[in-house]
Structure 1
Amino acid sequence: MANILYMKLKEQLLTTLASSTVKVVLIDTGAYTYSAAHEFLSSVPSGARIGTPQTLTSKTLVNGVFDASDVTIPNVPAGTGTGSAAEAILIYIDTGTESTSRLVTLIDAAPGLPVTPNGGNVVVTWAAEGIFAL
């Protein structure tokens, strides 16, 4: 048998996400490079963030899987950020202050990525099995 975390522990670890304001924003990876040392939104240059961050709704936690409704980022202007494309999606817990808004996950492999903004809406469709699992 493999080492395994119990499901109820996973759910307990994720309860902060269920009770917090969790947002998503598109990221230009030409202007931001992931680092495991990054902890807060202030580590992500504003020029790397594309479009207006949107709040996740209908969040669920089941057996250590975090999920939410798909998100529409409205009217994403062309040419935002330093590049023309968004290659990743950043999820973070929004406290209203960048220096305390904790980073949750950076997703760079998802349907529709990369996306080149053209002034229209960008729809983020989460995988059927959820956004991520512990």
Structure 2
Amino acid sequence: MAETRVFHLGDILSITTERFVSPNGIGALYEILNWMTGDNLFTHQIPRASKECAPALLEQHPDLAQVTVPEDFGSEDAVLAWLNQQVRRFGETRPVAQLHPDDHTRIDPITEIRMIRPDMPIIGVEVPPSEQTGDGNG
């Protein structure tokens, strides 16, 4: 059986519905997508990774395919009220398995931003080894 990690329903629905409803903020979206892809994604890579992960999440949890998110909540409180209804219906958390390596395309973040915005100037910064944290974030 594949290794899994447990994630909040709102994190999963943020990917499967393409509407951000995670109660734990954007960091939770990075966590689930980094877990599923085995990558350390940059902000501009989130939409692509979400598209890669959504089918796997719905395969793991087919009952979530029926969830639709209202077009306009009007307020953050309305989002949380809607999410609480979904939690009562589907449960607060779900186990999530990683993607098969063939289901995620690893693209260097600088290469990918150049693919997305070839007109945008990019300034590289080299961090001396003595100042690197070892976590991939400089």
TM-score, normalised relative to structure 2: 0.27
Kindly name which structure, 1 or 2, has the bigger radius of gyration based on alpha carbons.
2
Q: Which has the higher strand share?
A: 1
